[in-house]
Chains A and B, each alone.
Chain A
């Protein structure tokens, strides 16, 4: 990929592109410094965020977002389905709950596949999962605590993932509304799993919560925000920073979610 060529092409179409980006030099230097940190494969992603900055639009099409959501739903569905079928996992009184959750996730899978096909797209194929994440969580389907911790991580990730894509769906009101309707179901799941684990149903600051493996911290990074739309909410409301952080769930971008989910997908 030749970034200079692409920028030249954009220049021909839109002479003001550098005003939008502040300057060409700055655009290039951001790429330069980025190059030290990210692999070449991530450059298209960086281009995407640059265009978003320049034009206030996302390069993610609605179909891309739906397929991204489908991958996450495949992950959740398979996680619960395999756990429910694992003879070594004693879910006890929670079996009914996780059966309901599994059924919701399967419904999401089928709904998204139909939505993608209906819009003329091709649903991504179902990945093969490794919920041990290369033996990081090797007892995930025999140890209830490990299973519950991963469940919490997946549900809290799901909430952030859908939230992060809402603005990429505004061109289609029906899809946007459906995504919001799935988003709140994931939040319901998350709250109850957290309560089963003895936590509050909501996320305090950016805490992953007692008993959560340190590898799940990426799910909670960035959740401690207390300034919303430029308003310092603790200051104007008199509610503590911890309470305010609980009151607003934060979105997560596609790249971060993919890096979390990618740990559980066989390459």
Chain B
């Protein structure tokens, strides 16, 4: 019987694992897939008049394998944390005290997520992303809540879609559990925001299909939806498929 890799039972030394030889092996496994993926992305990318689109092989590289997925999550958490930080700083007059209390909680949660991923990734962490909130009116309740709704539901779909991309042994299992610990909090956020917008106990029903399933989106779709809010170009072409 061949020896199988042991799980990291308490998750300690997560960042050490990311630097380990195992991860290099994982990198090679995915490196070959990335070339094919880049071709597909190039053929499906931009309209001629859309000069915002950049070939996916430029920009901040999320990397490959499990750490690539963690960087993907880190990017989304950076976006959310920056948004709620701005809301707490700027939207005081637009929101009720109760609404602002929720926004302060959301800011704390997203900052905790962001800093967690940064620490877990260590040297592999992507740099701080530059956000673009020019389309958001922070003095308008509707603009703030609708943006929150977009981000939270996108976050839920992103984590749901990314679960299967982690390696299915060893430390990859720890990452899957961690993503699970976070996605349900994002779903709680999404429901609370919808409840606030509707004033009538809505919880994002329109994101749930006839089988009672929430959305699950792949990185290309998620990052394309997030792109208007992120100035930094993100290269996700090396992520697991």
For B165, the closest partner residue in chain A by CB is A173
Q: How large is the interface on B (under 10, 10 to 19, 20 to 34, 35 or more residues)?
A: 35 or more
Q: Within 8 Å of chain B (Cβ to Cβ): is A191?
A: yes
B162 to chain A, nearest CB (A): 9
B74 to chain A, nearest CB (A): 13
Chain A residues with CB under 8 Å of B99's CB are none
For A204, the closest partner residue in chain B by CB is B105
Question: Which of the 9-residue segments A31-39, A123-131, A229-237 touches chain B?
Answer: A229-237
Q: Which of B201, B203, B212, B215 contacts A107 (CB 8 A)?
A: B212
Q: A56-B170, A170-B173, A191-B203 are in contact. Are A246 and B105 (CB under 8 A)?
A: yes
- Does A111 contact B211, Cβ atoms closer than 8 Å? yes
- Does B160 contact A177, Cβ atoms closer than 8 Å? yes
- Does A228 contact B178, Cβ atoms closer than 8 Å? yes
Kindly supply a per-residue 1/0 record for chain B positions 100-120, scoring 1 wherever the CB is within 8 Å of any chain A CB and 0 otherwise: 001001001111111110111
- Does B105 contact A243, Cβ atoms closer than 8 Å? yes
Q: Which of A166, A173, A178, A181 contacts B215 (CB 8 A)?
A: A181
Chain A residues with CB under 8 Å of B192's CB are 191-192, 195, 201
Chain A residues with CB under 8 Å of B205's CB are 100
Chain A residues with CB under 8 Å of B11's CB are 228-230
Q: Within 8 Å of chain B (Cβ to Cβ): is A185?
A: yes
- Does B203 contact A192, Cβ atoms closer than 8 Å? yes
Within 8 A of B (CB), among A201-248: 201-202, 228-231, 233, 236-240, 243-244, 246-248
| Count of interface residues, chain A, beta-carbon cutoff 8 Å | 68
Q: Within 8 Å of chain B (Cβ to Cβ): is A159?
A: yes
B139 to chain A, nearest CB (A): 25
Q: Within 8 Å of chain B (Cβ to Cβ): is A184?
A: yes
Q: A181-B213, A183-B184 are in contact. Are A244 and B112 (CB under 8 A)?
A: yes
Q: Within 8 Å of chain B (Cβ to Cβ): is A96?
A: yes
Q: Within 8 Å of chain B (Cβ to Cβ): is A265?
A: no
Within 8 A of A (CB), among B81-132: 102, 105, 108-116, 118-120
Q: Which of B6, B111, B170, B203 contacts A189 (CB 8 A)?
A: B203
- Does B184 contact A159, Cβ atoms closer than 8 Å? yes
- Does B109 contact A185, Cβ atoms closer than 8 Å? no
- Does B116 contact A13, Cβ atoms closer than 8 Å? no
- Does A246 contact B185, Cβ atoms closer than 8 Å? yes
- Does A185 contact B208, Cβ atoms closer than 8 Å? yes
- Does A229 contact B178, Cβ atoms closer than 8 Å? yes
Q: A56-B6, A228-B178 are in contact. Are A191 and B211 (CB under 8 A)?
A: no
Q: Within 8 Å of chain A (Cβ to Cβ): is B55?
A: no
Q: A107-B211, A176-B163 are in contact. Are A166 and B188 (CB under 8 A)?
A: no
Q: Within 8 Å of chain B (Cβ to Cβ): is A29?
A: no
Within 8 A of B (CB), among A186-201: 186-192, 195-196, 200-201
Q: Within 8 Å of chain B (Cβ to Cβ): is A1?
A: no
Q: Within 8 Å of chain B (Cβ to Cβ): is A6?
A: no
Q: Within 8 Å of chain B (Cβ to Cβ): is A46?
A: no
- Does A237 contact B184, Cβ atoms closer than 8 Å? no
A26 to chain B, nearest CB (A): 15
Q: Within 8 Å of chain A (Cβ to Cβ): is B145?
A: no
- Does B213 contact A185, Cβ atoms closer than 8 Å? yes
- Does B187 contact A185, Cβ atoms closer than 8 Å? yes
Q: Which of A107, A184, A237 contacts B115 (CB 8 A)?
A: A237
- Does A247 contact B109, Cβ atoms closer than 8 Å? yes
Q: Within 8 Å of chain A (Cβ to Cβ): is B200?
A: yes
- Does B4 contact A55, Cβ atoms closer than 8 Å? yes
- Does A173 contact B12, Cβ atoms closer than 8 Å? no
Q: Within 8 Å of chain B (Cβ to Cβ): is A182?
A: yes
- Does B185 contact A248, Cβ atoms closer than 8 Å? yes
Could you list 29 examples of A-B contacts with CB < 8 Å?
Answer: A13-B1, A56-B169, A56-B170, A97-B201, A97-B203, A111-B212, A162-B180, A167-B177, A171-B168, A184-B183, A184-B186, A184-B214, A185-B187, A188-B190, A188-B208, A192-B202, A192-B203, A195-B195, A200-B102, A201-B188, A229-B11, A229-B14, A229-B178, A233-B115, A239-B115, A246-B105, A247-B108, A247-B113, A250-B181
Identify the A interface with B (CB < 8 A): 13-14, 16, 20, 53, 55-57, 93-94, 96-97, 100, 103-108, 110-111, 159, 162-163, 166-167, 170-171, 173, 176-178, 180-192, 195-196, 200-202, 228-231, 233, 236-240, 243-244, 246-251
